[in-house]
Amino acid sequence: MKNVLIIGATGQIGSELTMKLRAHCPGGNVVAGYIKGAEPKGVLLESGPAEEVDITNPQMIADAVAKYNIDTIYNLAALLSAVAESKPQLAWKIGVGGLYNCLEVSREKGCALFTPSSIGSFGPSTPHDHTPQDTIQRPETIYGVTKVTGEMLSDYYARRFGVDTRSVRFPGLISYVAPPGGGTTDYAVDIYYSAVKGEEFKCPLKPGTFMDMMYMPDALRAAVEIMEADPTRLKHRNSFNIASMSFDPEIIAAKIKEHVPGFKMTYELDPLRQAIADSWPDSLDDSCAREEWDWKPEYDLERMTQDMLVNLRKKLL
């Protein structure tokens, strides 16, 4: 991995992954691919090349790949789960049409391709506790449908055309840098903002709603490590379960209270997000990722909470 194109470079994951890869690939080109209206700014713009790359436009992808001699594409364009329910056609166009464009360019130009999947690729009939790597995936959201389709299409391109497609199923991602938008797991980011601002947090999910979550530094490391893993050890490709912590609103609120004693949370349920969360696993079994490419998380809830609070205080106060 030397010359990398990140599609969706100004989004929740892309804005941090671009910076990590620029540090990781010195001497290479790590190109921030963006769409109109979401142009890179500040350090993201100043620290390396940027190109307008709309994932729904295959020519734009092919042009950027040719211009920078790209060997690896990170496809991070997506609508998150709750917002995708209000725009299902667009979610499919970006999630599946966009992936198809990336796969075709990768096939023609010999690029490796990373496309994240998600805990959202599972559904109500999936075993919810210690969800196995290979199990029932019958998601009921359009987000999940695009993710399962993406996993299968990516495996097909690997088998049929030898395209080096790899991916992980991300849990809800928590970070103090770029805010997520329209996700079901976003409450676990918003809660820290409220705590630091001294505001009461209105939780959209009810007590007992467990989901897998992960601190962004672990997620970024996973995205890099999977693409650098020894291919002879990989029995799976798209996608690996990865996990680091699972909690419900009560547990994260109690943890924050240990550090911010005056913190208050009340409940104001969002039926759409609740239904989505109820259909997703409570906790994933990530033993295949551990065995096949030595995946190991570094952050638990306590360590993440300390880091989030320190950094959000710097950012907001």
Binding site for ligand SER (CB under 6 A): 80-81, 118-120, 143, 170, 172, 183-185
| Closer residue to ligand SER, CB minimum distance, 5 or 84 | 84
Q: How far is the CB of 28 from ligand SER (least distance, A)?
A: 28
Q: How far is the CB of 186 from ligand SER (least distance, A)?
A: 6
Residue 114, helix vs strand vs coil: strand
Q: Are 123 and 70 in contact (CB under 8 A)?
A: no
In the chain, what are the helix, strand and coil shares in percent, each to the nearest 5?
Answer: 45, 15, 40
How far apart, in whole angstroms, are the C-alpha atoms of residue 193 and residue 52?
A: 31
Q: Which of 143, 157, 192, 299 is catalytic?
A: 143
Q: How far is the CB of 40 from ligand SER (least distance, A)?
A: 22
| Closer residue to ligand SER, CB minimum distance, 3 or 81 | 81
The structure tokens listed for 79 are 């609508």
| Closer residue to ligand SER, CB minimum distance, 158 or 174 | 174
Q: How far is the CB of 45 from ligand SER (least distance, A)?
A: 26
Q: Are 32 and 56 in contact (CB under 8 A)?
A: no
Q: At what angle do helices 58-67 and 98-109 cross, to 10 degrees?
A: 40
Q: How far is the CB of 85 from ligand SER (least distance, A)?
A: 10
Alpha helix ranges (H) inside the chain: 14-24, 42-46, 58-67, 81-86, 88-92, 98-109, 142-161, 187-197, 216-228, 249-259, 271-279, 287-293, 301-316
Torsion over CA of 231, 232, 235 and 240, rounded to 10 degrees?
A: -30
| Closer residue to ligand SER, CB minimum distance, 75 or 184 | 184
Report the phi/psi class of residue 198: left, alpha or beta, with left for phi > 0 and alpha for psi in -120 to 50: left
- Is residue 143 annotated as part of the catalytic site, yes or no? yes
Q: How far is the CB of 139 from ligand SER (least distance, A)?
A: 11
DSSP 36: T
The structure tokens listed for 273 are 């997000």
Tell me how far CA of residue 247 lies from CA of 134, 160, 213, 256, in angstroms: 23, 39, 8, 13
Nearest C-alpha neighbor of 108 from the set 68, 54, 62: 62
* Minimal CB distance residue for ligand SER: 183
The structure tokens listed for 21 are 């890869």
Residues with a known catalytic role: 143
